[in-house]
Amino acid sequence: MTGVADHGRVARALARVSSRSLSGAGDGVRRVRHGLGLAVQAGLAAGLAWWLAHDVFGRPSPFFAPIAAVITLASSLGQRARRTAELVVGVAIGIGIGDAIILLIGSGPWQIGLIVLLAVMVATGVGGGTPLVVQSASSAVLVATLTTSTGLPWTRFFDALVGGGVGLVVMTVLLPLNPLVVVRRAADPALRALADGLHQVGIGMAERDRTTIDDALTRLRGAEATFAAFSSAVTAARENVAFAPARWHNRGALALYVDGASHITYALRNTRVMSRRADTALGDDEVIPEVLAVSVGLLGDAVDLLRQEWAKGVEPVVARERALLAAAECGKAYEEGVGFSGGVIVAQIRTTATDILRASGIDHAEAPRLVRRAVGWQGRSHPGRRKHTPRPGLSHPPTT
């Protein structure tokens, strides 16, 4: 019997290893596929930069031209156009200063230090950001340590400008990445993380399990980086479409993501607030009406539907309906009676539903009106609450 049990454990362990290996291989294939566009861009830019500097401008060995082209492409992915231009200028400044110092005083340890010092000072003095400063310093080091000054001064400065310019042209005109694909790829994990977090919080509330809610909150906090990547991708895609005529046809579908990205980020933050309050309610042994757990789960459904409808490029009508259904369910909590934390949870559900509606394209003034109508607390008696006179400006009855 022991041998059989051991054999079973070994088999399960091997199955897990095999599963992880297959998963890792699949992830590697996906990463290669996702990076193929950038690889093609870099190869094209490097070849064009060398051809332009060597064959057109007659530079005998313009190796800094393809280097600058590749640096520009690799470092500008997901960054603003201004930062991309800073990278080009930074490379050129570093190479120019390195060439000048070596020409005047030769090379050596203290010359390297002086070159980097001057490159950083010049980059900072012209108002450059971190990309310009870093590229200026690293390019200056490259010149000072790996090359010797040959030919006319500033020739490698010229090569860097040629290469950087080619990189920008390839990125924005000749072979721009499809911004819609880039944004969808960034949006998908962010929206999935939010939807999964809401579903998990709903389950934790229904089962009164603080561990489940705490685990969901930890994952929602960890999703901040994913949402930042989504925001960066939206910014880069907006500029890509603006500068790349070949991608202008993507503007309509891209507008869904551009207009909704900030509101989805607000929904993430409100969900975290709601999760903390749900944990507090359970810690205080406060009664949480079942409809609140249902409502939070419906919010998760709404986010997942929004992800699917955005991916299809259609107006997210179904996501709006689910968000309003979540608002309607949370309004029923007043019929059962809620305590202080319960009232805060209702408020956060309403706010998150409003965020989802605004992400779906509803006007900023219309979204809260639709949520109030769905909640339907106006004119309704609340047997679980004390009688009160609503104060102007309150979006829901005050808690006791």
CA-wise closest residue to 364 among 292, 262, 272? 262
Q: 171: which DSSP letter?
A: I
Q: Does the pLDDT at position 378 exceed 50?
A: no
Query: 240: which residues sit within 8 A by CB, 6+ positions away?
Result: 172, 176, 177, 179, 182, 247
Higher pLDDT, 392 or 254: 254
Whole-angstrom distance between the N-terminal and C-terminal Cα of the chain? 62
State the pLDDT at residue 244: 52
- Angle CA 360–300–262, to nearest 5: 40
Q: Does the pLDDT at position 61 exceed 90?
A: no
307 vs 185: CA distance, rounded Å: 11
User: Where in the chain are all domains bearing CATH 1.20.58?
Assistant: 179-375
Q: What is the share, in percent, of the chain residues with pLDDT greater than 90?
A: 38
CA-wise closest residue to 141 among 94, 211, 191, 101? 94
Is residue 275 within 8 Å of residue 344, measured between CB atoms? no
Higher pLDDT, 139 or 400: 139
3-state DSSP of 306-345: HHHHHHHCCCCHHHHHHHHHHHHHHHCHHHHCCCHHHHHH
**For 159-191, how does the pLDDT look when each residue is reduced to its tens digit (9 = 90+)?**
878 887 888 788 777 766 677 788 888 899 999
State the pLDDT at residue 394: 32
pLDDT band (50, 70, 90) for residue 346: very high
**For 297-315, how does the pLDDT look when each residue is reduced to its tens digit (9 = 90+)?**
999 999 999 999 999 989 9
Question: What H or E segment, with its residue span, contains residue 302?
Answer: helix 290-312
pTM: 0.64
Residues making up the chain, counted from first to last:
400
Higher pLDDT, 306 or 117: 306
Is residue 22 within 8 Å of residue 151, measured between CB atoms? no
261 vs 255: CA distance, rounded Å: 10
Fold that domain 179-375 belongs to in CATH: Methane Monooxygenase Hydroxylase; Chain G, domain 1 (1.20.58)
**Residue 242 burial (CB < 10 Å; 0-12/13-18/19+)?**
middle
Mean pLDDT in residue range 23-31: 54
